[in-house]
Amino acid sequence: MDDAHRLPRTAPAVLPASDLSRGSRKGKRFLPTVAAGIAGSAVLCLVFVSLSLRSDILLDHALGMTQVPVSSLPPAQSIVVSGAAPSFSPPAAIVRPGARVTFVNKLDTPLMLKTAARSPAAFLARVAGHGRATVLLRRPGLYHYYDAATARSTHVVASYDVVVSLAGGSVTPRQGWIIVLGRLPGLRQDVIVPEKKDLFTPKALVATVGSSIVVSNHDSDAHNFVVDPASPAGAAFIINGTQDEPPRGWHRTLVVQRPGLYHFYCALHTRQVGTANGWRVVVPRRIASGYRDHNPMEAWVVVLPANATTGDAP
């Protein structure tokens, strides 16, 4: 899709998706099972369970979970930077409180790892070329970090620090996310498109198999939701904005079926410039609000097995 053209807001969704839409006038029952290609994107496969629910029914009480202790979450995590793809792998990770995270640098040049200002706690770690460094993360929450040797934090948009490359231009910054999970997430997680922002928020979140992810568009523009083919499974759909579905825009609900790490983005407001460790690297299109900030409309979801909890063993 050419950067100078945006999809008309009245264009139909490329594929039908769940229509659990409190803001939707259609009030249809939904089948969140169909996945197909969006223009400029590869064909994606089926990812979410087929359900038929009324639009006013939530899933919070629909599923039960087997309780297991917090030890089911990783007590340690390794994050690697290699010459093949000079970015963090995995780009988003999850650990329990008190876990040790080891950064492994396979590059010749050193890394200077620094947390963004809105992380639950700060760390600063220098990792020599072909070296490693370990940090201890005790406080729960979402840690946003980056390589301060090659990138910097500039300002805040939608409650998240914008990190840009020191090289400037369209060079993607080296940054990542660590979720220290203090308690089990609920059976509903929300992803929001804020008003007048071509962004998803939060930038990283946790869900469990069988739980629902509700994507809400509070912006006036239409957006789409494309799951990276490197994810355990895929989906794609369009979400109309407040101009077409006043006053709050559409809501789409997905029910995740497979555990693992998911990456999703809006193909209407980003474009792919390559891959890193199998994941698509996307940058903002010229029409996107985050174009000047090099702040793409993307996010990450870590999906845990259905029996994962942070409670004590019964």
Q: pLDDT, tens digit, for every residue of 150-166?
A: 999 998 998 899 999 89
Provide the residue ranges of all domains of the chain, joining segments of one domain with +.
74-180
Assess contact for 198 and 288: CB atoms under 8 A: yes
Handedness of CA 203, 205, 210, 211 (dihedral sign): negative
The answer to whether residue 294 scores a pLDDT higher than 50 is yes
The answer to whether residue 88 scores a pLDDT higher than 80 is yes
Computed over every residue of the chain, the mean pLDDT equals 77
The answer to whether residue 306 scores a pLDDT higher than 50 is yes
pTM: 0.76
Assess contact for 290 and 160: CB atoms under 8 A: no
The answer to whether residue 180 scores a pLDDT higher than 60 is yes
Q: How buried is residue 72: exposed, middle or buried, by Cβ count under 10 Å (0-12/13-18/19+)? A: middle
The answer to whether residue 191 scores a pLDDT higher than 90 is yes
Instruction: Place 169 in a pLDDT band, splitting at 50, 70 and 90.
Output: low
Render pLDDT for 214-235 as a digit per residue (tens, 0 to 9). 999 999 999 999 999 999 988 8
Alpha helices in 113-194 (DSSP H): none
pLDDT of 47:
39
The residues, ordered by sequence, that sit 6+ positions from 62 with a Cβ below 8 Å of its Cβ are 187
Instruction: Place 28 in a pLDDT band, splitting at 50, 70 and 90.
Output: very low
Instruction: Place 27 in a pLDDT band, splitting at 50, 70 and 90.
Output: very low
Amino acid at 176: G
Instruction: Place 72 in a pLDDT band, splitting at 50, 70 and 90.
Output: confident
The answer to whether residue 56 scores a pLDDT higher than 80 is no
pLDDT of 216:
94
The answer to whether residue 93 scores a pLDDT higher than 80 is yes
The answer to whether residue 132 scores a pLDDT higher than 60 is yes
Across 94-121, average pLDDT: 95
DSSP 8-class letter at 281:
E
Across 127-154, average pLDDT: 96
Domain 74-180 indexed as CATH 2.60.40.420? yes
Amino acid at 39: A
Tokens encoding 84:
């093949």
Across 118-141, average pLDDT: 96
Across 76-84, average pLDDT: 89
- Cα angle at 121 between 115 and 123, to 5 degrees? 45
The answer to whether residue 262 scores a pLDDT higher than 80 is yes
pLDDT of 71:
62
The answer to whether residue 125 scores a pLDDT higher than 60 is yes
